[in-house]
Structure formats: C-alpha cells, structure tokens
Structure 1
Amino acid sequence: MMTQKSALSFDRVVWLSVATVIVTIALVILRGDQLQLLPQRLSPVADAVGVSPRTQIVLQFDQPLAALPPGATLQLTPPVTGALQIAADRLIFTPGMPLTTDMTYTVQLDAALRGQQGGRLREPLRWQFRTGGLQVVYTAVDAEGRERLFVADANLGGAAERPASPTQLTSGPLSLWDFSVSPRSGQIVYSALKEDGTSDLWAVQLGDLTPTLLAPCPNAVCNSTAWSPDGKLLAYARRNASEFGAAALSPPRLWLFDPASGDTAPVFTDSQKLAFEPSWSADNQWLSYVSPEDGGVGVIQLATGQEQFYPTISGETGRWQPQADRLLYTSFRQVGEQYVAHIVLADPVSGEATNLSGETALVEDGAPAWSPDGAWIAFRRKELTGPGATPGKQIWRMRADGRAAAPLTSDPGFDYSAPQWSPDGRYLLFHRLPLKGPTITLSVWIYDVTTGARWLVAEPGQRPQWAP
C-alpha cells in the first residue's frame, strides 16, 4: 500500500518528467528556429557579367530542401516567368524564354524556404548579374601543348569592331578531351584529363569561372558528351579501365546522366554493345551514335528500344533534322573508278534514304549541319574534279532536299572544319586550317550567310561551338 509520502514522491517524478519533456520540446523548437539554411553556391554568381541569356538560376544549400511552401517565390527584375523546382539541395529556376541580352537582372528569393534538417532561410537572398550577347566557346593549345577552353564574344559587328579579349575557362596541369554546350541553359560540360589517364566530366557556367565536378568517372574515361535539346539529360561515352588495358584504350559504351538527380544509366540493355559520339533528335526521343564494332551509324528510340543501322566508314555520327525524326549521315561509295563521300538523308521509321549529294557527284561531302528551321544544310565539300577542285574542304550550303547546292567559301589555301549554325540561322561558325605557309595556325571564324561577310573570332582557336 502506497503511503502519502510515497505518493508525493511519485507525483514529483511525474511532474519532473513532464517538465523535462516540455523543456526538451521547447529546446527543439528553439533550436529549430535557430538553425539556418545556408546558401553554398549561387549560379550565376553575384555581379557576374557575360552570362548566357539561356541560363538557369541555381541556388545550392547546405542541406536537402523541403517541399516548396505555399507562396514561395524567386523573382527576377525585370520580371521573368518560368518554372521553379527542387532537386535535392538545389533550387532551380528555369526561365520560360531566353533572357534579354546585355541586361542587368536582380534575383530575390524570399525567406520562406526550409531544409529537411529544420534549417530555414533567415532573410531574403538578393543579388545581381548581367547577361551577354551571343558568344563562342572554343579550345586553344598553350605553349606546353595543353588544350584549354576559352569563350569570346561573337562580335556580330564583324571586322569593323575590334574583338574583346577571350576569357580562359579551364586551367590546371592537364588538358581537356572535348566539350559540349547545353542549348537550353548555356552550361558547358567538358572532359578533364587526370594524371592516371582517366577523365571526369566537369561543368562551367558562363559568367561563373568556378568549374564544378558534374560526373566523376573513377577508373574510366568519360567524354563525347551531348546535351538533350531540353537540357534534362547528358549522353556520353564511357571507357572503363580493365586488366587488358588502360581506360583510354578500352571500348566505348553509351551512358545517360541526369544532372538533376545525379543518376547515371547505360543506354543499351546489352552491356557489350559499343557506341560513342551520341547525337539527339529534336524531340529528345532518339539517339544516333557511331558503332565501331559494326562500322556505321546506329540509331535507337529510347522509349521503345527500336534500332536502325546505316553502314559507313566515315566515323561521323548522324545529325537530326530539327522538325522531324530524320537524320543526315555520310556514306562512302564508288562512282566509276572514283571513291566519293555523299550525304544521305535517312528516315529510321520508314526506312527511306535519299542521296542529297547526287548519285554520280564526284565529291567528298561530310559534317552536315541543319539550320535551326530545318530548311538548309551547311556542310564540308571537296570537289574532286573540275575548276572548283581544291586541296582542302570548303563550306557549302544546300536546301534540305539537296537542291541549290553552292559554295560559301572558295579558298584553295585553307581547309574548313564542320560548320555550326547560330540559333537565329544567320551565321555559321567554323575553324580553318592553312594548308601552307610559314606558320600553320588554326583560327575561328564567323560567316554571315545573309551578307557573305566573314570575320576572325580567335587565333589560335579550334573546335568552336556557339554559347547561346
């Protein structure tokens, strides 16, 4: 039987326990209120200049983010509409339309955002950046033989304006392998070589000169990247090191990388299928690639797994038409006693194929590139006979059906690289190589399809791409 003294002692214990719980809860609440959600990285960075008009606004925090609370806003001034989403520890704003060129924008994020660990944003975030115009990303080799990444203004005023000095984007003791530019955000991803002969995928945003590791590739070489047109996936080739050889000498396989989640996955269910040089269709549904084991260009429909194959020894991947699931590839064949290279338009669904160069044309065509509206094709051509024959390849243009083929350059002393159309379809970008002279230096040029004017962007420079 419990005595009165025992009952009082029991009551004290109960009340003490309750008080302890209350104090603990209060401390948790107080501690939760004191926890801060700290930004680790802003992109574009504060006061950045020359930012791509197609940039995304990305804020990375010190912890994964909770769901967006009602009314949470990220505002740009001047006003911009777009989509706001959470990806782990990042808040991403994707503008619905490209930003205005050469414009200063102010970004403000309200303080309603919270993290999954209880941290909250104590006060609004606010910073500015300034967009640039159309730019050109290219590589150049330094005095030590290392290939570096640069960006320069497109200088659309032409030769009348003096081009600004280019900005170097990569450094370090080793070179890069290759790179690609996202058509959606302007983000540049490049394959950075390491001392053991492998390479990782790194990313850099125009206006922010701090590279970030995008996809580590331990004991492997990752390169040959291609952004999907919607910017949601990155296709790349991966070569794994093995007991039989170094990674760089190993056979390539195609993989997909999701920047939002960091997930990677092989393209093919058959782990032994080899492929590299991926290229996306405009609707993000098809991939073309070079198939080294079969000797040609392969295509796969990602949703269904449907495949097609086009035999060729060109080593070039297929290039998809912007408004249709058709692609261009280069086919080697024999015309009489002459070996030629022709451009073929293929439909992987119907199986139809059309020789756009002309069945009997004595030419070496290659590196076709569609204009943004799909109406024109720019390409490299070397005429093998006649008054137009040159030692190097020139830049030509023809209609989408092969009609009205005409040269845009006619310089016997130079060889021209694969052309790249500007987003508005007015300009072509390429590098050219002198075939003789006291110095042989690659240089980057722009050609105005409307006026025929051309001007120098960078010398030395090679492998240029537009940064929209």
Structure 2
Amino acid sequence: MTTTRPLIVEDLYRFAVPGQPALAPDGGQVAYTLTTQDAEHDRPVSSLWLVPATGGPAAPRRLTHGPADSAPQWSPDGTALAFLRAGQLHLLPAGGGEARPLTYREHGAGLPVWSPDGGRIAFAAVVGRPGPAEPLVVDRLGKADGEGLLGPQRTHLFVVEVDSGRTTRVTGGDVRITGLPAWSPDGTRLAFPAAVGPDADLTGAVGAFLVGAEEEDAVPRPVGPAGGLIRTVDWYPAGDALLLAGRTTLATGHDALLRQPLDGSAPTALTTALDRNVMPGGPGYPGALPQFHGEKGGQIVFCARDRGATRLYGLGPGDGSGPGDGFGFGFGEIVELPLPPGSGVSGCSVAARAGAGGRAALAVADRSSFGEIDLLDLATGELTRLTAHMAQALPEVTLHPVTEREFTIADGTRVHGLITRDPQAPAPGPLLVDLHGGPHNAWAPHATPVHLYHQELVSRGWTVLTLNIRGSDGYGEDFFTAALDAWGESDEQDVLQPVAALVAEGLADPGRIALTGYSYGGYLSCWLSARSDVFAAVVPGGLIADLPALAATSDEGHEIGHAEIADAARQRELSPLTHVDGVRAPTLILHGAADDTCPAGQAEQWFHALRTRGVPVRMVRYPGGSHLFILAGRPSHRVDYSRRLVDWVTEHTAR
C-alpha cells in the first residue's frame, strides 16, 4: 500500500512545473519550459524540454539545463527553436546540439517571433536605460515593478537575421512597445501594441501600430483603436485585418477580441456575447494568446476566465469566410472547448501548419496538479496528458480537497467561494480567510503553487476560505466593475457575511478567525481589520494603506487614479489609514522591498500607524522582492513568507 502525506511549505524546493508549451508546426511534438527550484543558489531554474505529442509511454526529454531558458518558439519548418537564455535570443537545432546566441544586447531581448519564411526573428528590446551610476533624467511618468522609474527608457522593435545575426532597429521615435510583434502573412510588415507619443504616459492609451519589416528607425503607423488599451496583436490569415485582444476605451471593463481593419476604422467586437474577460496571459493572470485554427485559419482559439478559472474557447469565423468546423461552431459563434471541470489553462499553442491534425498543446492545472502539458484534439475534444512532472517530483503528496459553494449577500449578490479543509477535521475549528489581488483577479478552483500555507494550515485542522468578491473576474462585466469608486465599501460584506455563515453553520470558531490577502487583498485585509473586530490575526501582504500616495509612487498608480477611484476625496475616504484607529488585531506585514506596484512605503506607513497606536505589529521586508516575488522570487523568500504566515495566525488564534 502506498502511503501518502499532505503538502508542506518546504516541498516548494521539489516543485517541477511545466509551462509555455510550443507545439511543433506539424503537431508532432511539444517544446515547453520546466521550472524547478535551486536550493543551493536560492533561485528558480527554467529549462527547455521536449515531449512527443502522441501520448503513451514516451517520456519527455531535457533539451537544455538552464538556469534561465524560456519562451521556446519553433521555426516555421520545425527544424529549430528560438528561445531566451538569460534574456538573450538563442537558436537551438530541434534534433539536438549546442544553442548559439543571436543577440548580445546590454539590456537583453524580448520574446522571439519568427518571420513566415523562417529567415528573420522580430523582438522588442529596451533602449535608453541609463547605467546604475548615471543620473536618471525623468520627463515621463512610468515605473516598472522591481526596476523603479523608467526615465528615458523606451522599448523598440528589432529584427535579427537568423543566418548572419545582423540586427536592425525597425522603429524610432517616442515608442514603448507593450506586447509581442506579429508578422504579416507575406512577411513585409509587423504589427504590435504600443504606447506612442509624448503624452502616452498621461493618457495610458495603448494602440495597434504597423511598420515595414525592412524599415529602419521608422515612425509606426497607427491602425487603431485610438484611446483604447490593446494587449495583443495578430494578423488575419488573409492579411487584410488585425485580430486584437483588449478594449476600445480606457474605462475599467472586460478585454475582448476585436477585428481591426487596416484602414484605421472602428474595430468590430467579436466576443461581446460571451460576457467574459479575454485572457491573453501574464504573471498571475493565466491565459494564452488568441490563435487562428481550422481551414484557412477560419476559427480563433482563445482563453477567457469563467468562475475564477481560465478556460479555452473557440470562435467561429468572424469575417464571413464561411462555416466553422471542428466542434461545429459557425459564423461568429462561441463555444467552450472541453476541459475537465475546475481546471485552468496557463498556456496554449495551436499547430501552425495546415493539415497538422487540428491540435493544441496546453498547460493545464487541476485539483491534483499545479500544471502539466496536455494535448487537445480540436476536432474531437479528446484530451491527452503528455507529462506527469508533479507526480514524479512529489509521488507521496496528496493535496487537500476543495469544495465550491455560493453565499448570498444581504443585497442579493451571489459570491462564489472555495473551501479547503480536511473532512475529518473537528468543527468548529480555526478559519483563515484569504483575499485575492487585482482587484480584478480571482481564485481558481484548482491547485496553486503559490499559497502553500493553505495546504499546511488545513493539515493542522484549519479551514481555508477564499472568495471571489465583487470586482472578481469570471462572473460578467457588471460584477467585474461592481467595486469601482467603492473599494472596501462595496465588497466588505462579501467577506464578512460568508464568514458569519460558516460560524453559524458550526464550521468556524468565532474566536479563531484569521485574515490574509496580497496586493488588493492586502489592501482589503487592512481595511477590514480597521472596520471589523471579527479577525483575531491579520497578515496583509504587498499591501496598500494610503491610496492618494499611489498616484506618484506605483507603476499602476496613475491607472488606479483614473480607472478605479478617480475622486481624490474618495481615495482618502477609502484608504485604510483613514480608519486605522479601529485596528486591534495583531498584524504581520509581509512586503517585497523592491515592490513598485504596491511600494514598500505603503507597508511602512501601515506599520508606523499600528506601532504608534499600540497594536501588536511586525513587518518583514524581502530584499530585492518585486510585487511578484511570491510567484517567482527566491524560493527561500517564498518559503519564509508561507512559514511566517502559518506561525503568526497559529500563535494568535491559539486557545
């Protein structure tokens, strides 16, 4: 009989999590990254792996040893992989051999995008960044998390010739490219999302732009939409329009798929009927780039979030080219592609070559795994698991079960909650409430490698409650925007009333309730600890305490001040510092020292306010930690974060 045990925090050092799948053009094999942890050097390690797309007994094989290899992309003929190694472009023969560098840029290169003929690779790269000892001259707004003020730094588009290594800077002027470039089908033009012009820092607008692939230092030509926020750009297979992911205004709301004519006229929204947020993917926001599929590229495969999980969808031909195939969806029709309930997608790659079998390689997390590589047959819906890295790395570990339920708030709003607990644990017992960030992120009903303290606390008899409160993604745009201009006020009952329900049901001990959250969850933890006496211990991470101060200090402060809480008086009213006299609960503050999204000064303000009022408080700053250090920072810091949280809430809720 096999003996299993629950996950502990220190198991992080044994994690092996695949991602960034890239399906070969013929659909026959999948390249991907595998992220592990190097305890000796206290760093995450990423390497490239390859697995046949046939399923069965074929084992994945390692292509590189890292420690910082990522973003594999197949050449159009399937003979080579371009990838990033320590921030520089490299080329690796698909059949094996040594990788050779293609770039030697001081500040590195962006993700590679092959030209249709395989002779060139386009990428974005930073220019104008001053050296560490040089004066920083600032005449534009702009910060980057973990880097600080951008100053004269811009991001331009480059093209490197694969054979010669000759590199050309294609764009010039005041340009900040914000996403991947895309080659036109004939290889003559490049499209990309960018903020362009002297006032782009003030407006926050990101549009779609074009430039000739053979040009040098060219001023990009705007395509549209003006005054919008575009995340990704691709070409329709006929080369007559662009496929955009984003929105046409700067107002907070769902991102959509848009068909943008090349003449700059208004785009057509393709996913309005879905009422879900399109997810092109990013750190902490799983998803994948929209991709064309099917006969003549008539269908679009894309990700959107539903009830907290990022799911895969298909959109029938949106340009009138003809009926759909595969799952039977036709002109403009959207269907959810078949994945196991509760699972979530964090990467997708569709076979590029016509007749490659209609396959998509996916990175899929579920309730037993943080992520594995799966193959989806887009014609039949058959899903085949190709890897088993978690089972091999942690064969003796079983994760605690998650139960979904809904809570009805007094005003009739329904809030989706997730409860993690050992069914054999005595009740009532201690309860941890964990609040997500964003504020427009969401808890997913599958395993996560980030919040390790959940599993360990449940092993100690705790119940963990996570809630997708007002503002969360995956429940329609009205719910998504329900906390605008009302942070804390609009959603506090979405937390307090479900907690009261668990107490009334006899599941939670009213004297042993703890509260934590990160980013917006850190803000709301501070807010609730100031306005409620429900919580016996509070652990805000990456917090916000003083909203007005964000405008000048956060990389998202200008956006928050325009799109979330525009009125200065409301910002003061909704700041936890305004209500700090109400805090009584012992508070542990956990914060990255190099956080430029929720700057470390916010944690210092909260610490000072509590300490000078006699509230038991401790602050822990993680050296070099950006806002995302809990996702991909030093493993020792991630373990320390979870360990300190477990110890704090356990100590301050002890009977």
TM-score range, shorter chain: 0.3 to 0.5
Greater length-normalized contact order (CA 8 Å, ≥ 6 residues apart): 2
Quick check: which one's strand share is greater? Answer: 1
Bigger CA radius of gyration: 1
TM-score normalised by the chain length of structure 2: 0.34
